[in-house]
A and B are shown apart, each in its own frame.
Chain A
Amino acid sequence: MLENLAARVNQDANLVRRGRSVSTTFLIAIDNADHLVRVAEGKVVEIKPGPFITPNYSFALRASRESWDKLWSEQPIPGFTDIFALVKKKLLRIEGDLHPLMTHLLYFKGVIAAAGKGALAAPRSGGAA
C-alpha cells in the first residue's frame, strides 16, 4: 500500500523543500500492519514493513484500512479529507511524541496525501460513505 510513497514524496520538490528540516522516523499502521517511515531532510529514505519487536519511532498514525482508503480516495469524501477529520471521528489515533508532527504539520499532511495519489491507495471497497 505504501510501496511508492518514497518516490512520490521525493519527486515532489516543493514537498521536500517544505520538509527540509525534518529528519525522523514515524509509524503508519493500517489495521494491524505497521510501517516505519524514515525521513531525512524531507526525503523518505526507507519504508520498513512490520511486524516489529521493538519499533523505534517518534509518532504513530493508526487507523483501519477502511479509514485510510476513504482518506486516500480519488474522489474527496466530506468528513474524510484530512487526518484531523478522522481524529475527530475517532477513526485515527495519533500517538507518541507529537512534536515533530506538529512542528511540520503541513509537510506531514503532504506526505500522507502523497500516499493516496493514483494507484497507491488500495482498491476502493464499495461505494463512498
Chain B
Amino acid sequence: MSPRFEPAIGRYLHLDLLGQPHRLYVEEAGSGIPLICLHTAGSDGRQYRGLLNDARITANYRVIVFDMPWHGKSSPPAGWQNDDYRLTSRDYVRMILEISAALELDRPVVMGCSIGGRIVLHLAHEHPDTFRAIIGLESSPKVDPYYDTSWLHRADVHGGEVCAGIVSGLVAPTAPDEGRWETLWHYMQSGPGVFKGDLYFYMIDGDISDKLDQIDARRCPLYLLTGEFDYSCTTEGTLEVARRTGAQATIMKDLGHFPMSENPEKFIGYLLPVLEQIRAGKQATAA
C-alpha cells in the first residue's frame, strides 16, 4: 500500500465552554453546508471517520466532528480530578451551541447518535431556528436503566473491557468484523467514568418524553435513522418520536447502535438521500 493522508484536518480549539477554559479536539473535512456530528456516550469523534473520508458527502458538506470534553483527545477541564464527570441536558445543549458559535457556523445541520441522537431532540425543542436541519441517529425519547451502571467505573473492573463488553451486543450481528472491533476499541480507550457520566444524561436527566409533542418538524426539518438491531434506542422509540414530532424516520437494515462506525458504507447509503433532501431544501429556499 502506498502511504497516503486522509483529507480530514484535526486541530485543537481553545475556547471557554460552560464557563471554563477548554482545549477541544476538532476534525473536519469538506466544504459547503456545515454538518456537526456528535458521537455516542463513552466514545469519540473517530466514529465519523467514514463520513470525513467520503467525497460524496464532503463535496457539499463541511463535516465537523469534535470530541466532547473528557472524550477522545479533548481533555477534561482543569481540576477534573476533584469531581466525578456527569453530563446533563443543560450542559450538553450549551456545549453544542457554544462550539457552533465559536466556529461561526451559519445555521449548521446537526447530527448525533445515541446520546447525540437524544440531545438533537432537545435542540429541536429549544432551538429549532438555530439549525438548518437535524438528524437523529438511534434517537429515542428515553431509555430506562436496565443494568447497574456503577460497574462501568470501579477500580477493580477494567473500564475499557467492561464498557466494550456492555456495548458489544449493540453492534449489529451482521456488521463486518473490522467495523465491529474498531467501534469497540473506541470504548476500550474511554477515560475512567466517562461512559458512566454520559449515561446519566442518557438514562436519567435527558428524558424528553413529555416535550416531544412540542417539537415541530415543520419548523426545523427532523430526520431519524435507526438500526434495526439497536435494543438500546429501539426502533419503537424512534417511531414514537416520529409520530409525535412529524419527523421522517427510516429503520436501517443490518445496522445496530453505531451505524457510522460499525458499517460506514451501509450507513452512508441511508444518509446520502437525507443530505440530498436537506440540500434541496436549501436550494428551494434560496430560489
Contacts and interface: CB of A to CB of B under 8 A. Distances in A.
Interface string B235-255: 100000000000000000000
Contacts, number: 60
Interface residues of A, number: 19
Nearest to B188: A106
Contact of B174 (A76, A83, A98, A109): A76
Contacts of A78: 228-229, 231, 235
Given A84-B146, A87-B147, A105 B231 contact: no
Contacts of A103: 156-158, 161-162
Interface in A72-102: 76, 78-79, 81-85, 87-89, 98-99, 102
B173 interface: yes
B169 A82 contact: yes
Given A103-B162, A106-B161, A82 B168 contact: yes
Assign chain B's interface to a size class. 20 to 34
Contacts of B172: 76, 81
B166 interface: yes
| Residue with the highest number of chain B CB atoms closer than 10 Å, among A76, A81, A83, A102 | A102
Given A99-B156, A102-B151, A103-B157, A81 B231 contact: yes
22 contacts: A76-B229, A78-B228, A78-B229, A78-B231, A78-B235, A81-B173, A81-B231, A82-B169, A82-B231, A84-B146, A85-B169, A85-B231, A87-B146, A87-B147, A88-B146, A99-B157, A102-B157, A102-B162, A103-B158, A103-B162, A106-B165, A106-B168
Interface of B: 146-147, 151, 156-158, 161-162, 164-166, 168-170, 172-174, 228-229, 231-232, 234-235
